[in-house]
Chains A and B, each alone.
Chain A
Amino acid sequence: MSGDITKKQALDKFLASVERRAYVKAEMTMGNREDALDIVQDAMMTLVSKYSDKSNQEWGPLFNRILHNKMTDLHRKNSVRAKVKGWLGLQKKEDPDDEGSAIEIAPDPTNPDPAKQVSEHNAMAQLVNALQSLPLRQRQAYLLRAVDGCNVAEAASAMGCSEGSIKTHYSRALKALRLKLNEHW
């Protein structure tokens, strides 16, 4: 019984340490807050229900792998759903006037250099847009390399594919991003 409590505490600590990073990664990959929250929750539940008996050192790579699998699964589901909605003519049209609330778009008064902030903000917004335009696997490979600092072998393990695939996805992502961010270079 005390072993269960200790394990629960250890898992809680581990998940607390990774959940925010996982969420931001999922959000940057999927481009959607709700999807990102669902993915992180699913990944946590899978880790708890299936891999809680593994050692603490294994949880990190396992969680990363589960997270990427969940992203791929949801992306596939969304693609199918979008196709079906497209066929049925149910797809929502984006409202061009919807730019967020006044609070969201208001400038931050604490920033000392508004020009720099605008430039950075634009570059980041463009980067996010450029990332969203990439195929999912390229996005995942790129974020694993750029954000997590994974090498090719680690990225391949997280995405469950060969090192050659990672090199290809990463290289294509890099080229596409460089082209799309040309004006901010």
Chain B
Amino acid sequence: MNDETDDRDTSGVSDIDEKKLHHLTQQCFDKNLTEMDGKTRSVLHKRRKEALSGLNEPSAMWKYSPIWAGLASAAVVAIVVVLLPSHLDRSEHDTQSAPMQVSTQVPEWLPDIVEPWQEDYEMLEDLDMLTWLILEEEFSG
């Protein structure tokens, strides 16, 4: 694997010394590898199984993804900004546009005031309770 041409070093260490060092390092590595104790082997085995057990679990990316957080935030914003005001608008609109329920019956407590209009009481349809109150106030005063 060593490419002889691409790594001429400038360390001043001869090729022989380099090979000697490599040999010693390789020896040391092999010694550590072959003399690995049973406890370390079993710990490695156990940890490999632990690592592999995570393969079938949903990835943490899906559990804690910023995408999910973003989607949840967007949903909340959509509810607050778009759906809620439109719902309120609709409620307000419904209130405003609902046909006013004005009784065509002249209230008993206002017989004298309304009496002159009784023949033409369709006009009363456009009057709401406030108007009635104002009228009552004005005429009673």
Contact = CB atoms under 8 A, between A and B. Distances in A.
A150 B47 CA distance: 27
Given A15-B52, A27-B32, A167-B7, A175 B12 contact: yes
Interface string A18-47: 011101110110000100010011001101
A174 B44 contact: no
B24 A37 contact: no
Given A37-B40, A154-B1, A178 B55 contact: no
B55 A175 contact: no
B82 interface: no
Contact of A23 (B12, B18, B25, B36): B36
A25 B48 CA distance: 17
Given A23-B44, A49-B60, A181-B21, A146 B52 contact: no
A146 B7 contact: no
Given A20-B41, A41-B50, A151-B6, A146 B36 contact: no
Interface residues of A, number: 53
A153 interface: yes
Closest 6 CB pairs of A and B: A44-B51, A151-B3, A171-B9, A149-B1, A171-B11, A175-B11
Interface of A: 4, 7-8, 11-12, 15-16, 19-21, 23-25, 27-28, 33, 37, 40-41, 44-45, 47-49, 52, 120, 123-124, 127-128, 142-143, 145-154, 163, 167, 170-172, 174-175, 177-178, 181, 185
